[in-house]
Structure 1
Amino acid sequence: MLRIGRLAACRWLAANSPEMCSRRSGLACSRSRCPVQGFSRQAQFKNSGKLALTGDRTFCSQRGADGSSGRQPDISVVGIPDPITWIRCKVTLLLVELLFGLDVNSDDFERGVKQALVHISSLMSKGKYFELIGVVSVEMIRYIEERCQPLPQHHRQHLAVSMDDIIFVLPEDISVVFDTHGRKFCTIVMRLWYLTTLDGPEDPEGTRIFRVSPGPDGVRPKKVATAVYEFHREMTKGASQDWMVTTVWHWNWKPTD
């Protein structure tokens, strides 16, 4: 079963990771050609600033703390995420779409997840936690502030992630819950891998799957870091279609000393 899962993940990967394949020149992989592609649906802002699935205003692609992305290093895939988790999530996504009509198995949703990472990490790096209201739950905003405020200023500035630095997105868990009043709620946990120039310990989750080639002399080397974002939405008929981010976790919250 594990071998079948690996083969399915790898074949699907090779066909659905154009960003990854175009980023590297002649990617050298042994058993996996590319990492497993996740699912997506476009995340957008309404006037209220909430994360939504409909509307005409989208997140803007933002650059990192240096103001530009520059040429990205070559990235090799040296491992694969858990194929069993990938298969389980794909099946659950299909069931959610079939039973509830919620299309979260699309490239648009993945782009929205990436844009959420860019937007939230940018506000974290600037210390503008109050601007997360309506996008991130109140409890999580408090947690983000507690984690970010003690960090030195140079560390906090490097928390910002640009769209070009995001390597890969993977659904990690999907659940649908009914409460005693008959309301339906969907929760989706997404894991993201991205490049960072922040000094500090290597992220073992990132180095297990990706290997970044050394940059040219005089260029600050980049490392792979991990972030986990949880998206929550009520699916009851007539309820708001806004998605709320209820969990935010970044590997590079850890002190660099």
Structure 2
Amino acid sequence: MAFPMIRGCYRLPSTFSLSRLLLKERVVLKGPGNTRPAPSSLAAATTAVRPYSSDQGEQKKHQKVVVVGIPNPFIWFRTRIYYFLIRTYFDREFSIEEFTEGAKQAFSHVSRLLSRCQFESLEGLVAKDLIGKLEEKCNLLPSNYKKALSAEPDEIMYTTPGDVGIFYDDNGRKFVSILMRFWYLTSARLPDDSMEGTRIFQVGVREGQAETKRLLTAIYEFQREFTKGVPPDWIITRIEHSKLLD
């Protein structure tokens, strides 16, 4: 089964360090302490948070999250070479921007299936051997942790490509893998002591009201076989949710 908008062994290290995370307008940092953010591959990005309405005029406003990083020029350039190789030797229509958008949709869909323990629905989307492992872990999670696995599309704050892999197996089959990192908000109630390294925010819903949300991270790796005659489908071969699926 193909993910929407995703077309289509040298491992690249992370390209950037996430140096600052700012939430503008009615998003206020509540908990102290520093995070240990995952690497990012963009110098800066701005993404809309779920809109809220004020009591006066019911005019929708949008909150923003800004991610600022300091790029490593050498790694940035090398990553682009890998994208060029994919377009040249595997898929002429490949676009990392289009892939990123499709990966974001796939992440939201699969995370919701995991949250609901709908493991049969993961077939064709997630590698078979990984589904069994996820089922074992998810069945042991309390309900609030399961809820935190789900990432609604409008709660995804930031999406960025990570490592890129191009490799062949002993039979000459060709594969490309792209690791994606996601930052998303959740309103699930999670114990602070077990979620070290995350930040808690007060998100304005209406004037005079605020909802507590926590910023979580997830890593999903997408792999596609480019051997001639094989369906052009991407499949998820790795899933990690910070502090939830350890």
TM-score, length-scaled by structure 2: 0.66
Name the structure, 1 or 2, with higher relative contact order (CA <8 Å, separation 6+). 2
Write the distance in 2 (CA, Å) between the matches of 1:118 and 1:112. Answer: 10
Q: Which runs of 5+ in 2 are unaligned?
A: 1-14, 26-39, 45-49, 53-60
Identify the residue that residue 130 of structure 1 maps to in structure 2: 120
Q: 1:228 aligns with which of 201, 209, 219?
A: 219
In structure 1, the residue matched to 2:240 is 249
Residue matched to 2:204: 215
In the other structure, the counterpart of 2:4 is: none
Secondary structure at the residue paired with 1:253? coil
Task: Kindly indicate whether the alpha-carbon contact (under 8 Å) linking 2:41 and 2:71 is maintained by their aligned counterparts in 1.
Answer: no
The answer to whether the 8 Å contact 2:42/2:71 transfers is no
- Please report how far the alpha carbon of residue 180 of structure 1 lies from its aligned counterpart in structure 2 after TM superposition: 2.5
Q: Structure 1 or 2: larger helix share?
A: 1
The aligned runs of 1:1-257 (5 Å cut-off) are 24=24, 36=42, 71=52, 74-77=63-66, 79-80=68-69, 83=72, 85-198=75-188, 199-201=190-192, 204=197, 214-215=203-204, 218-253=209-244
Task: Name the one with the larger strand percent.
Answer: 2
Give 1:86 shift: 4.3
For the 8 Å contact 1:89–1:171, the answer to whether it is kept is: no
Q: Secondary structure at the match of 1:80?
A: strand
Instruction: Say if 2:203 and 2:211, in contact at 8 Å, map to a contact too.
Output: no
> Contact 1:35 / 1:81 at 8 angstroms: preserved in 2?
no
Deviation at residue 102 of structure 1 after TM alignment: 4.8
Q: Would you identify which runs of 4 or more consecutive aligned residues in structure 1 move more than 4 Å?
A: 84-87, 211-214
- Provide closer, same or farther for how the CA distance between residues 242 and 191 of structure 1 changes in structure 2, counting only shifts above 3 A: same
- Is the contact between residue 228 and residue 249 of structure 1 (CA under 8 Å) also seen in structure 2? yes
**Aligned CA-pair RMSD:** 3.7
Q: Is the CA contact 2:182–2:217 (under 8 Å) kept in the aligned structure 1?
A: yes
Aligned equivalents of 1:110 and 1:196: distance in 2?
A: 21
Q: Distance in 1 between matches of 2:92 and 2:24?
A: 34
In 2, are the aligned partners of 1:165 and 1:194 still within 8 Å (CA)?
yes
**CA separation of 1:76 and 1:181: change in aligned 2, threshold 3 A:** closer
Distance 1:76 1:121, change over 3 A: closer
* Deviation of the 1:157 alpha carbon: 2.4
Q: Structure 1 length normalisation: TM-score?
A: 0.64
Query: Secondary structure of the residue that 1:238 maps to in structure 2?
Result: coil
The number of residue pairs the alignment matches comes to: 199
SS in 2 for 1:164: helix
Deviation at 1:100, TM superposition (A): 2.5
CA pair 70-126 structure 1, distance change in 2 beyond 3 A: farther
CA offsets, 1:96-142, max 9 Å, x none? 21232354434321221011111111111111111101110111111
> For each residue in 1:150-199, what CA deviation from the matched residue of structure 2 results, as whole angstroms up to 9, or x when unmatched?
11123312321111111111111111111232221111111111111232
Displacement, 1:213? Answer: 5.8
Distance 1:73 1:221, change over 3 A: farther
Q: Is the 8 A contact 1:175 1:186 kept in 2?
A: yes
Contact 1:37 1:168 in 2 (8 A): no
